[in-house]
Amino acid sequence: MLNGLMQEQPLLISSLIEHAARLHPQGEIVSRTSEGPIHRCTYADVRRRARQLANALTALGVGAGERVATLAWNGYRHMELYYGVSGTGAVLHTINPRLFPEQIEYIVNHAEDRLLFFDPGFLPLVEKLAARAPGISRHVVLTDRAHMPASSLPGLLCYEELLAAQSADFAWPQFDENSASSLCYTSGTTGNPKGVLYSHRSSVLHSWAACAVDGLAVSAQETVLLVVPMFHVNAWGMPYAGAMSGARLVMPGPALDGRSVYELLRDERVTLALGVPTVWLMLQQYVESAGLRPAEELCLRRVVIGGSAAPRAMSERFANDFGAFVVHAWGMTEMSPLGSVCNLLPRHAGLSPEQRLALQEKQGRAVYGVEMKIVDDDGVELPHDGLAAGHLLVRGPWITRAYYREEGAGNVDGDGFFDTGDVATIDADGYMQITDRAKDVIKSGGEWISSIALENAAIAHPAVAEAAVIGAAHDKWQERPLLIIVRKAGHELGRDEMLDFLRDRVATWWLPDDVVFVDELPHTATGKLHKLRLREQFRDYRLPGA
């Protein structure tokens, strides 16, 4: 081997904010604060304050590799922590506040967090946690002195005071790019949450994929609304990709209801927005009930939807009412999260709107850096014909190889592939489509029925607000689909009408055996349908004729 003669520069997260502050010093970060008002700052400000934070962390004795936790919504202070903590070589542990308190307690102790930075609104949670998480030596409220809440917590620190006491001179240390940078736990719908430990190298490489035109095309041309929370897989890497590209970032804080999101889209002239289907559902319902005309009022060009399948009806409404193109994407905490993106190819230019919507139902093609394959139960690779459905396995430099503190076990096979737990097809062009999570697939007489496909077909009915499909016990077929519906307010819809609607849209043997109507469906901490809880709820349910 002959070594190349290029510079060996470690890929470090601090280099992203340095780049942004040099090349896009006026690039704006707009935040809706927990206190209410809109706050504006620039990449230059984020760098300055991240450096002050780095000095503060050093003064508090936080060493390289130590975990610093956050309980915070999307906002500029959280962004400063992304850079200030990781930049010093410490590890940022973003906690999902929607987890059960026992799960939060578990992960704080499992991660051995030393410091906890939190939004004032989380004080009651933090006060309860404090006694059960003795490893946390200091608690810092993300606010100024005027908004410091009264609390019995000993030695509570005020973030703005902490920063004000420090100089903005700080030379980011240079270290191995494989060092850990941040930590995120999966929601653990079954069993305890598992820690995914990202590295500086994986985070920087992932940002390039997010910025690539055939990735999410994040660039300085865009104003990006991060509806996806910064405690959910690093907001899909957007705080890093934003700095890499100089994109203008808009952070919604805790207000994720339809009206607040709509106002931000309109007032901040957002061009690209990212989030899970649940929030887009709230937005679309608000627009419908308020009789708004988003296509005329907004500049929204693209909406990235991931985390759960983007139903066709949702993409259609974004196209027709908002004039926005839905970019369907797939990934997971274990993948940083970006795995595939549904962008069109040149030969799709002539597709009819119907054909394009059908293509957009797929989760898209693997981005460079992610290898995908589908295998059967015996591990034999299946063809990429768009029909064969199998376990989806992935490999790449921003995909986990072991969970935190379970390193010995590893979580990849002999060839380095990670089993995503999803079941998917891949077509001849490489477009992947998730048919189900392996544990949610409905096994009817040895055949598999896709719960996602049925849900998407049901949600297209104008009276349906939300739909879930689970397998219910059946003597003859083992399992048959049960459709559970939340009706839109003020709409009528009966079982037979729903089934008639589906009859033209799905294979006859996929037709649910029954339909039930409920007021609401349970969701997980990351906004997905909580299928496990639904299955428990309907455990004793008898299908007609079962």
Which is nearest to 515 in space by CA: 538, 536, 532? Answer: 538
Q: Which stretch binds ligand ADP (CB under 6 A): 1-9, 264-272, 419-427, 500-508?
A: 419-427
Binding flag, residue 435, ligand ADP (CB under 6 A): no
Residue of 33, 186, 223, 271 marked catalytic: 186
Q: At what angle do helices 123-132 and 101-111 cross, to 10 degrees?
A: 60
DSSP 170-211: --PPP--TTSEEEEEE---SSSS--EEEEEHHHHHHHHHHHH
Binding flag, residue 330, ligand ADP (CB under 6 A): yes
231 phi-psi bin (left φ>0, alpha ψ -120 to 50, beta other): alpha
Residue of 263, 381, 406, 443 marked catalytic: 443
Active site residue 271: no
Candidates 308, 336, 435, 444; binder of ligand ADP (CB under 6 A) is 308
Are the CB atoms for 339 and 332 separated by under 8 Å?
yes
Q: Which two tokens stand for residue 454?
A: 């049925």
Candidates 306, 390, 396, 481; binder of ligand ADP (CB under 6 A) is 306
Q: Which stretch binds ligand ADP (CB under 6 A): 17-25, 252-260, 380-388, 520-528?
A: 520-528
Q: Which stretch binds ligand ADP (CB under 6 A): 2-10, 136-144, 327-335, 383-391?
A: 327-335
Binding flag, residue 528, ligand ADP (CB under 6 A): yes
Candidates 333, 343, 451, 456; binder of ligand ADP (CB under 6 A) is 333
Shortest reach from residue 420's CB to ligand ADP, in Å: 5
Binding flag, residue 309, ligand ADP (CB under 6 A): yes
Q: How far apart are CA 255 and CA 28, in angstroms?
A: 20
Binding flag, residue 307, ligand ADP (CB under 6 A): yes
Binding flag, residue 186, ligand ADP (CB under 6 A): yes
Residues in 138-177 that interact with ligand ADP by CB under 6 A: none
Q: How far apart are CA 517 and CA 125, in angstroms?
A: 34
Q: What residues contact 508, with CB distance under 8 A and at least 6 apart? A: none
- Between residues 52 and 308, which has the closer beta carbon with respect to ligand ADP? 308
Binding flag, residue 526, ligand ADP (CB under 6 A): yes
Active site residue 443: yes
Q: Which two tokens stand for residue 35?
A: 């206190």
Q: Which two tokens stand for residue 166?
A: 């420090």
Q: Which two tokens stand for residue 294?
A: 């988003």
Candidates 80, 177, 361, 422; binder of ligand ADP (CB under 6 A) is 422
Q: How many CB atoms lie within 10 A of CB 149?
A: 13
Q: Which two tokens stand for residue 112?
A: 């051995």
Active site residue 448: yes
- Between residues 17 and 399, which has the closer beta carbon with respect to ligand ADP? 399
Pairing of strands 272-275, 223-226: parallel
Binding flag, residue 72, ligand ADP (CB under 6 A): no
Q: Which two tokens stand for residue 194?
A: 């598992």
Q: How far apart are CA 236 and CA 214, in angstroms?
A: 16
Binding flag, residue 524, ligand ADP (CB under 6 A): yes
Q: How far apart are CA 511 and CA 469, in angstroms?
A: 11
Shortest reach from residue 277's CB to ligand ADP, in Å: 9
| Residue position matching structure tokens 């002999």 | 414
User: What Rg, from alpha-carbon coordinates, does the chain have?
Assistant: 24
Are the CB atoms for 521 and 486 separated by under 8 Å?
yes
Candidates 29, 53, 209, 332; binder of ligand ADP (CB under 6 A) is 332
Binding flag, residue 94, ligand ADP (CB under 6 A): no
Q: Which two tokens stand for residue 544?
A: 């007609």
Binding flag, residue 431, ligand ADP (CB under 6 A): no
Active site residue 526: no
Binding flag, residue 437, ligand ADP (CB under 6 A): yes
Which residue numbers are catalytic? 186, 334, 443, 448
> Where on the chain is the footprint of ligand ADP (CB under 6 A)?
186-187, 233, 306-309, 328, 330, 332-333, 337, 363, 420-422, 434, 437, 524, 526, 528
